[in-house]
Structure 1
């Protein structure tokens, strides 16, 4: 069976326009980190809403507790705060992208904000000193909706927009 007809292989999305817009973003307002995060969420949502995204947003590690706080998202609210035991917390701890083909396999390690979600991609957001301050979380109603190409492209977008320093290319399939 070819990769094109294999339902376990997500379609390869074209990030060329997203990356071109991201490269131009730091030179123009908005300039604060939160504004750039909102700009990134909007850019990805406009490009990939429902193909494969069902939800996308940024969580930031709370400085006062072992939890993450939702900063911005599309298209609807989600759980906040969330514990560090879920995939967002794991992505923050490990400082590398995480691909989850089927969230049902995670058991108690999955925080279900929308029971229709079936797969997830978590990208850590890195400070220049290498520490992690948060994550970009992408969900989909489809199984196996994301792959390493999505992880690398979204990571590159965050770097181009000045939201994150260099993100590890070592993506883990969970």
Structure 2
């Protein structure tokens, strides 16, 4: 998908989410809606979900797609890289990412975006996999960061 079409698709998703998320102040309900809408509106998303930080562990939360790893080994893989670095990580080819955790061998590219609470602390990551190499870029990073900002908006 070219950048213009991709931004337009994300814009439509953001508009839809603003309306949906206004219906509940519950962060987990909002996260579940974000996952469902993204997964079903973006055709190149193979696995879409959140991993949450729980007492120093990274545990799967709500997701759509094939069965996920229930817990990710500490300080390993793309999700931990996003948490430890405090920023979005785009991986065009997961086979080339040191320490990549292969929950499903069909995953070829990945993006992971930190979710922060109202105080700014990272509490989870939005992890999205694609079964096509090179499916994510800076447009995805920018737009997904805007979408995650909606989770804690009043």
**Normalising to structure 2: TM-score of the pair?**
0.89
Q: Which structure has the larger Rg? A: 1
Counting only pairs closer than 5 Å after superposition, residues 122-141 of structure 1 correspond to structure 2 as 122-141=112-131
Distance 2:149 2:44 in 1: 22
Q: Which of 48, 61, 73 lines up with 1:56 in the alignment? A: 48
- RMSD over equivalenced CA pairs, Å: 1.5
Any conservation in 1 of the 2:27–2:151 contact (CA below 8 Å)? Answer: no
Once the two structures are TM-superposed, the CA of residue 76 in structure 1 deviates from its matched residue by: 2.6
2:2 aligned partner: 11
Does residue 17 of structure 2 align to residue 22 of structure 1?
yes
Describe the SS at the equivalent of 1:137.
Answer: strand
2:143 aligned partner: 153
Gaps of 5+ in 1: 1-9, 164-174
Alpha-carbon displacement from aligned partner over 1:6-44 (angstroms, at most 9, x marks no partner): xxxx63312121010122233213x31111111000010
Distance 2:58 2:77 in 1: 10
Question: Which contiguous aligned blocks of 4+ residues in structure 1 show a shift greater than 3 angstroms?
Answer: none
Describe the SS at the equivalent of 2:139.
Answer: helix
1:36 aligned partner: 30
2:40 aligned partner: 46
Distance 1:87 1:23 in 2: 28
Report which structure shows greater RCO (CA 8 Å, sep ≥6): 1
Query: Between Structure 1 and Structure 2, which shows a larger proportion of helix residues?
Result: 2
Any conservation in 1 of the 2:109–2:135 contact (CA below 8 Å)? Answer: yes
Q: Which has the larger displacement, 75-84 or 135-144?
A: 75-84
